[in-house]
Structure 1
Amino acid sequence: MPKRSAHIISHTHWDREWYLPYEKHHVRLVQLIDTLLDKLDGDSEFKSFYLDGQTIILEDYLQVRPENLNRLQKHITAGRLIIGPWYILQDAFLTSGEANVRNMQIGHQDAYRYGEPAKIGYFPDTFGLVGQTPQLMRQAGITNAFFGRGVKPTGFNNTVSDGGYESSFSELIWEGPDGSKVLGILFANWYSNGNEVPVDEAGAKQFWERKLADAEKYASTGELLFMNGCDHQPVQLDLPEAIRTARELYPDTEFIHSNFPDYLKAIEGALDRSSLSTVHGELRSQRTDGWGTLVNTASARVYLKQMNQKGQAILEKAAEPLAALAHVLGRDYPHHLFTYAWKTLMQNHPHDSICGCSVDEVHREMVTRFEKSRHVAETIIEDSKKVIADEVDTSVFSTYGEAPLPLIVMNTSGWSRTGVISVELDAERLYLREGYTLEESSARMKAVDLSGRLLVDTEGREVACTVQDLGLLFGYDLPDDQFRQPYMCRRVRLTFEAQHVPALGLRSYAWVRQQGRTAAAAVATEPDDNQPDSLIRGDRILENDLLKVEIAEDGSFSLQDKTSGKIYKDLGVYENTGDIGNEYMYKQPEGEQALTTKGLAAEIAILEDTPYRAKVEIKHEWEIPASADAKLDEEQRALVYYPERQAQRSRDTVTLGLRTVLSLEREGRGLHIETKIDNTAKDHRVRALFPTDLDTAVHHVDSMFEIPQRDNEPAPEWENPSNTQHQQCFVDVSDGMAGLTVANLGLNEYEVLRDGRNTTAITLLRAVGELGDWGLFPTPEAQCPGEITMHMELIPHSGDGIESGAYAEAYQFQIPWTVCQTGVHSGTISPVYAPFKWEAPQLAFSSLKMNPDTKDLLLRWFNMSRVEAELTLESGLPCEYIYKTTILEEANPPSTSNSADGLTILAGPCEILTLGIHR
């Protein structure tokens, strides 16, 4: 037998916040790094320390200890402190693809300030891993992935169980859906298997007899990995002495105070790759009993997931593309603000944060961070859209006489878009600098005549709209070169359907006075008599050219796809069950029968009836159990493992208020659903049910840069009655001929029920009262009391979700419209405009941004399909050449397929494709 090596890597897994609030962990971090620096300064035998793969540790430490920058720098340069490649260790399934890319980009950017980032794909405690991880690693120049979850079972307090491994060894080949492969290193005995090594001979012998055997049980070579650390683990200062003891006890073993680069070099030299298992795609611990997957963190504190979805969307899908276009028009691209906004947002992305599985103080602080990041993004959007709107040639509206009010509708999605929007316009302003008293200003604005106006497009066609007079309002400008400029105004809100706004483009409209029209304009603005005046048929039917919705007395409804004739029945029933689990995992009380709103009388009323949209309100007053019974508190205090709890629901009841609004737009291909829950109960879960009655054993779901296929039935090893899973934008059940896509905003948990109907169940609310995991940490705010509003869209389709456009519709559902009022002026941009054009139905557009180093524009797509797809891109901007790059956006030479008209390039199956525009 060849001599074995024990690679001992010093580290700490640093959750910034978890069972303690952030600042309490922060104080401990400062103490830890102080101690570490002293040890590195004074002991050359203490070789190195791994800073958990996240550069934010340096940021957090230097916030308190800026005087120690040079000491940190010295040890990083010497290779004794190993940093990066991430900014933070993020949850994989609850953060967007672009957030993961920014995490890698900013982690590298920060690491380069000190030295080189470690090319280590580090996921020690990530709650499952997405299928595209190998491709993301390879595009970042990383050929490995170290991880603790996804292919093995774990139990209470992260104890490791035997069996259920998809891999023969702790080393494996992990292959993504695009074919990218990395060497996977599973922490088969957890990332603490070398923690607190004894120095004394007796203790060391007992320790190493067990630890060496445990590691050899799973290792494919004699290169054994021991992780000397754990969560918030202090530095083991006497590790050099402990290693000397081990060497004396086991002369046949080489004990090395190692690091990841050296360990990788050793393992690569010893591996027989042909003996390794290949694991494909997502790592979600499906070959387990199902009780320890931590999947229900996807529904803990849903309000956090909603805020995250909004924060990600406005940053990556609105602020970045708008700022990029504004830069083309001459405005500086605010790289510094984007870095700050992304960092602030990503500070909420570690698994114990975004997963909602920490103490209440942690999640209160998260709300503030979400708001801070959003406020920066909103400011960038406001500044950028004004730059763009000021360059739009709106002179076409000058023919409409006195005071036309142009507005620019901007579509920052990757597809042409039609939809109902609302915009607030100032019909007239009076600046206080003009010398009028407040009383005179108010009187003048109140006297503004709003009558006789209509909305028109650039072709002069009248656009049906609803006008709401918002009355007299105060406002102010903040000029770049003057003191603030307050004004009084008369404001209105226009609601209308914007049609066919081009991808990454804009379309112009104007609210004009009817009496000021020229004769030619008057003819052009005649209304279209072919358009229906209403989408409501009878009391409870909504219908457009594509869809028909019939609402039953209990508020459930049927949805007909008029293109295929397929009818989906019993949609929109709500389900309620008890939950005696915790923030990590759901547990329904034994023997409990779920409550539903099926047959529960509802109040139904028409809210909106216009030519472009109809809305119907459905109200339920639902009596449900008030909480779990008293036994739950007893079991929690006794630390009874949640699958073994016997608590039931209380006999006391409360009224749960449900308000549902169904909304159908004239050109809409989906039915919008807004649900508001007034949560008065505890220890329970609420889901919306959407039966499909489609015969299929699989379904598709949106994940990070991928639409993976998942089985409806769990693996044979699965024992948990619940089979809930993660989603991002949507889940789709289809039989190949018809399908129903359910899109959502920040509702990351779903289940395809094994009920004979292949029902898609979307978790709207999960209310629990404890953190869970390794002790008792009460979390009363995780009961989520009060009102919460959720948004979904049902998109029926024929055939494939990609080719039918259903997935494109679901992705657009995530993205807010941007609208800006402007004046009548000439400009360099036509009133209907898009800077790029492309053809590629299989590709989903992901981002447009600017690289801070090259100043090039970067566009990213991902191939939704498992087959090669062709992208043809045309740039309407001045462009020297186009090149292909990676997620790190390095400058590259021109693509060989460049031409005067643009570029045609092939995207491989499931490829994440990034193109640079060098101007």
Structure 2
Amino acid sequence: MNTTKQVIHVISHTHWDREWYMPYEAHHVKLIHTMDALLHTFDTDPEFRSFYLDGQTIVLDDYLQVYPEKRELLQRLCKEEKISAGPWYVLQDEFLTSSEANVRNLQIGHRDATAFGPISKVGYFPDSFGNMGQAPQLLKQAGIHNAVFGRGVKATGFNNQVGEGSNLESPFSELIWESPDGSQVIGVLFANWYNNGMEIPVDPAEAKEYWDHRIASTSRYASTPHLLLMNGCDHQPVQRNLSEALRVARELYPEHEFVHSNFDDYMNDVLSSLPPKLSVTRGELRGQKTDGWFTLVNTASARVSIKQLNQQNQTLLEKVAEPLATLASGEGLAYPHALLNYAWKTLMQNHPHDSICGCSVDEVYREMETRFAKSMEVGKAIVQDSVKHLVGQVDTMGFDRENATPFVVFNTSGYEGSSVATFSVELSRRYFKQNENPVQVAKEVESCTRAEGYLINYRGETLKCAVEDNGVTFGYDLPDDKFRQPYMARTLTLTFETGVLPAMGHASFAWISEEGEGAANGKASSQGSLFTGTATLENGNLKVTVETDGSLTLFDKRSGQKFSGLGHYENTGDVGNEYIYRQPDNDVAITTRGGIADIRVAEDSPYRATIEIVQTMEIPASADALLDQEVNTMVSILDRKAGRSELLVPLTIVTRVSLERLGKGVHVSASFDNPAKDHRIRVLYPSDVRATTHFADSIFEVAERETQPSSEWRNPSYCQHMQAFVDVFENNRGLTIAGKGLNEYETLLDGRNTLAVTLLRSVGELGDWGVFPTPDAQCLGKHSAEWMILPHGGHDRVDAYREAQRFPVPLTICQTGLHGGTLPPRFEFLRWEGEGVLFSNLKTNEPRGDWMARWYNVTGTDTEVRLATAKDGEAYRSNILEERSAVSVEGYVPVGRYQIVTVGLAKED
């Protein structure tokens, strides 16, 4: 191709948000019309060469849901490379979906694309609200060597308008994007957004004005003669007269070459003519060198309950269902590939950026809640089948005594540790037939069972245990070989300390029903209480005191460091929208600092103690009346003058602070009934750490971030994303706050490096390009949140990170009978060690049936994972797509700095 003149690459596309300012099905109908028009255009215009289907295969699924008979036509067009397929399943928000969810998105996108034709090897991130720092490493492991993205680099503003100034991260649209481990891809920024070539005129006069502007603005940022014009936008219909528009352009500009192009041709031409040196942008792309108003980070706190459901769903699939199904497959149970694929796809339908970010209309979230429920029901069924099979292989004959009820506790977090578990055992299950009287059956069960007894572990040691007698309750079995089997059984709820569980394995316990001296009944004895004062809890690691205003004073015995003033609540107004937090001018934060809290003992046992704190703040009921007027007339949030109403309502927060006997951190939960609109609630943790940077759990990394914003930053708020935790530390002092589905924090510039974690944000409009009221986004009603305080000594911060990642992963417990088995009563299926390494996942590869385990190094030092497994067969290095390599693993795996490693454990022939 002649490169002495500029080549205009026009790529036809539509950016397809499945749901946003309309519900899914409304957008779905529009998609059907768009695809119908595209197929008609291909059929009638031989010069219309190709169409980029937004990098996500779900668009094909959605179309075929209505027209399944058109699959062969789509496959033909994909094979002819007229329609692209993949590499993603959906265009996710990278920061609000987990590391493994980002990987599943890539894996499923590749697998589904293969069924249609060539996989589009374009790292496509057109509208992500910031980009993960490890994207280049993930892409390169998937055989993708480029990334095309719309946000995060240069001084960009609303709708990606490029600002002036010298402090730009790259002078060109083209740059080198580098992950922390050193992996590099060629990055292309949509400097003029992904609509800079939409609706090209065919009228010569209009076309002349159009092209003069487009060529000049695109040339301004291009480092090569190849200019990228994206012919489409959000839900943009196909430009059916594009061929004619390009003919007009060629006549008007004979010195230019106009090509109806595709990403493969465009990237090849760009690569062949890049300048010798390009700017290198490293790590996360979050738009930090901007005024800070339009990074869209506050979507991390819009509709927090959706984020919490997402965390529960992701954790269930990647940390429980997949590992347990993998372990069960090693004991002869078929791995449920199809069901897990269905559960993941259903979950990922909630992961597009406008969905999981909480920046859509209310109807979207009603459907999202249903999808979460569907995915989790499938995940729970997989877990139930897996553990039922596994416990059948566990030798429980060590409990062979009268009235023993064995059960097995599984830890699949990837980290060993002790927990306080709660489980309901069933005694004397009595099945009944349809012609029997259930009332009489229940009386029979009640008469032959007692609540008295005691708990023992697999070593025969008696454990302290709290027992709650639930009486006789109904249950049922659904056997594989007969009709449903209803029954009555007496159930006891046991709360006990598990002791240290293996990182990926199980330990066995048994309830012994027995009357007499020493039998447990009711609450566990407080002998050995963790209370050392009326409002002080203490174990071997920590001492925590609840002060009169409800704040905490925490002493870390390991580091000798004391933390004070922890856990105050803060309330401020919010006259922004689902995208952006905007505190009213002159608004003063309302806090619980200095108030009087109601403090009471909620639990006192040898293995856990809990203090309940009740606090009430009087807060404005809403914004003042001006806000509705400003919203309805589309006044920019930067220009809004609305304040908070004078009417006050009580906000009562009930906090429970718990310390476990072997705990390394303090568990905290909060519940409240939100009575107000247009506000934000945060919990504050002053660290008193003297550091200029802090660290946040992100996608396959613990990202180091500057606490002080850049000189361009004008937004008074400097919020950030996190996955499981945020941390600030120095040589001998550190504080980690870990949350469950709490994705927004701010490190305050208050002289104390206070970590502020958002619990709720209430707003009443979507924002962006129109007026879309979202009354449900006010989040009125009942809410709850859970988090953990993990002090550390700085040098041991990775240990705190492991505890933070173990925190949200539930134990799985299953009752069984007395039987022999091939598995011992305590067993570790996968044992590993590694300095500076975090565990990600254990699953089974679909084509080969191999176990796949993944870790990542969160430090700048090379390390290794030392590996031992109960599975026979060869171990080998793999990649994100779980492809088998020829590199064998013999007991240990080298892990470079910030590297993601996947190890395959081959299925024995």
Q: Same fold (TM over 0.5)?
A: yes
Alignment of 1:833 onto 2:798: no
Name the counterpart of 1:467.
Answer: 467
Which residue of 2 is the match for residue 506 of structure 1?
A: 506
In structure 1, what is the Cα distance between the partners aligned to 2:693 and 2:830? 36
Shift of 1:644: 1.6
Alignment deviations for residues 869-900 of structure 1 (CA, whole Å, 9 cap, x no partner): 11111121222x111011101122351x43xx
Give the counterpart of 2:376 among 350, 374, 378. 374
Deviation at 1:837, TM superposition (A): 1.6
Name the structure 2 match of 1:480. Answer: 480
Partner of 2:848: 854
* Structure 1 residues 383-782: aligned runs within 5 Å: 383-398=385-400, 401-433=401-433, 436-514=436-514, 533-782=528-777
With normalisation by structure 2, the TM-score equals 0.97
1:132 maps onto 2:134 in alignment? yes
In structure 2, C-alpha distance between the alignment counterparts of 1:156 and 1:285, rounded to whole Å: 12
Match of 2:886 in 1: 893
Aligned residues of 1:156 and 1:773 also touching (Cα < 8 A): no
Q: In 1, distance between residues paired with 2:649 and 2:525?
A: 50
| SS of the residue 1:370 aligns to | helix
> Aligned partners of 2:628, 2:450: CA distance in 1, in Å?
61
Question: What's the CA shift string for 1:270-327, capped at 9, x where partnerless?
Answer: 112x331000000000000000100000000000000000000000000000001111
**Alignment match of 1:914 (pick from 897, 902, 908):** 902
The corresponding residue for 1:300 is 302
| Secondary structure of 1:708's aligned partner | strand
Structure 1 Cα separation of the partners of residues 793 and 28 of structure 2: 53
The 8 Å contact of residues 408 and 820 in structure 1, kept in 2 or not, is answered as: yes
Q: Do the aligned partners of residues 862 and 378 (structure 1) sit closer, same or farther apart at CA in structure 2, a change above 3 Å counting?
A: same
Q: Give the drift of 1:436.
A: 5.0
The 1-side partners of 2:434 and 2:241 are apart by 76
Q: Which amino acid aligns with 2:823?
A: I
CA distance in 1, matches of 2:309, 2:796: 27
Contact kept, 8 Å, 1:581 with 1:587, in 2: the verdict is yes
SS in structure 2 at match of 1:270: coil
Q: Is the 8 A contact 1:421 1:498 kept in 2?
A: yes
Deviations 1:713-764 (A, max 9, x none): 0001000000000000000011121101000000000000000110000000
Q: Distance in 1 between matches of 2:342 and 2:422?
A: 30
Whether the 8 Å contact between 1:660 and 1:675 is mirrored in structure 2 is yes
Aligned pair 1:325/2:313, yes or no? Answer: no
SS in 1 for 2:305: helix
Q: Secondary structure at the match of 1:568?
A: strand
Q: Distance in 2 between matches of 1:20 and 1:440?
A: 55
Mapped to 2, the partners of 1:101 and 1:532 lie a distance apart of 48
Change (3 A) 1:160 1:611: same
1:81 alignment partner, SS class = coil
Counterpart-to-counterpart distance in 2, 1:801 and 1:279? 30
Note closer, same or farther for the CA distance 1:545–1:820 as it changes in structure 2 (3 Å cut). Answer: same
| Distance in 1 separating the partners of 2:5 and 2:733 | 60
Task: State the shift of 1:156 in Å.
Answer: 3.6
- The CA distance in 2 between the partners of 1:293 and 1:162, in whole Å, is 17
- SS of the aligned residue for 2:698 comes to coil
**SS in structure 2 of the partner of residue 669 of structure 1:** coil
Alignment CA distance shift 1:824-1:592 (3 Å): same
Amino acid at match of 1:886: N
Instruction: Return the alpha-carbon distance in structure 2 between the equivalents of residues 103 and 486 of structure 1.
Output: 40
CA contact (8 A) 2:403 2:514 kept: no
1:70, distance to aligned residue in structure 2 (A): 2.1
Partner of 1:819: 813
Q: Which runs of 5+ in 2 are unaligned?
A: none
Q: Deviations over 1:122-177 (max 9, x none)?
A: 00000000100000000110000000000134434444433453111000000000
2:271 to 268, 271, 293: 268
SS at structure 1 position matched to 2:198: coil
Q: CA separation of 1:692/1:418 partners in 2, compared to 1, >3 Å: closer, same or farther?
A: same
Q: Percent identity?
A: 52
* Aligned ranges 1:301-380 → 2 under 5 Å: 301-380=303-382
2: CA distance, partners of 1:847 / 1:158: 36
Q: Which residue, out of 876, 882, 886, partners 1:883?
A: 876
Helix, strand or coil for the counterpart of 2:623?
coil
- Deviation sequence 1:776-811 (CA, Å, 0-9, x none): 1000000001011000000001123445x1000000
Residues 153, 292 of structure 1: 8 Å contact kept: no
Which amino acid in the other structure matches residue 828 of structure 1?
Answer: T
| One-letter code aligned to 1:864 | V
Alpha-carbon distance between aligned partners in 2 of 1:428 and 1:216, rounded to the nearest angstrom: 79
Please list every run of 5 or more consecutive structure 1 residues that lacks an aligned counterpart in the other structure: none
Q: Is the 8 A contact 1:157 1:773 kept in 2?
A: no
Measure, in 1, the Cα distance between the counterparts of 2:505 and 2:417: 10
Shift of residue 532, structure 1, vs aligned partner: 5.6
**Separation in 2, partners of 1:9, 1:661:** 56
The offset of 1:553, in angstroms, is 1.3
TM-score (norm 1): 0.96
Q: Is the 8 A contact 2:549 2:594 kept in 1?
A: yes
Distance 1:267 1:291 in 2: 33
Rounded Cα–Cα distance in structure 2 between residues aligned with 1:160 and 1:843: 39
2 CA distance for matches of 1:683 and 1:698? 31
Change beyond 3 A, Cα 1:52–1:188: same
Name the CA distance, whole Å, in 2 between partners of 1:53 and 1:165: 28
Deviation per residue, 1:820-841 (Å, 9 max, x gap):
1111111000001011222213
Q: Distance in 1 between matches of 2:435 and 2:21?
A: 58
Alpha-carbon distance in structure 1 between the residues aligned to 2:168 and 2:346: 37
The aligned residue for residue 226 of structure 2 is 223
- Deviation of 1:451 after TM superposition, in Å, equals 4.5
Whole-angstrom CA distance in 2 between matches of 1:875 and 1:546: 31
Identify which range, 777-786 or 74-83, moves more after superposition: 74-83
CA distance in 2, matches of 1:515, 1:746: 44
- In 2, distance between residues paired with 1:704 and 1:584? 21
C-alpha deviation, 1:628, in angstroms: 0.4
TM-fit CA distance, 1:620: 1.4
- In the comparison of the two structures, how many residue pairs are matched? 901
The SS at the match of 2:731 is coil
The answer to whether the 8 Å contact 2:451/2:492 transfers is no
- In structure 2, the residue matched to 1:61 is 63
- 1:621, distance to aligned residue in structure 2 (A): 2.1
* Secondary structure at 2:115 match in 1: coil
Matched with 1:870 is 864
CA distance in 2, matches of 1:223, 1:396: 74
Q: Deviations over 1:24-80 (max 9, x none)?
A: 000000000001001101211000000000000000000011122222122111110
Pairing of 1:167-316 with structure 2 (within 5 A): 167-272=170-275, 274-316=276-318
Check whether the contact 1:148–1:187 (CA below 8 A) recurs between aligned residues. yes
RMSD, aligned CA? 1.7
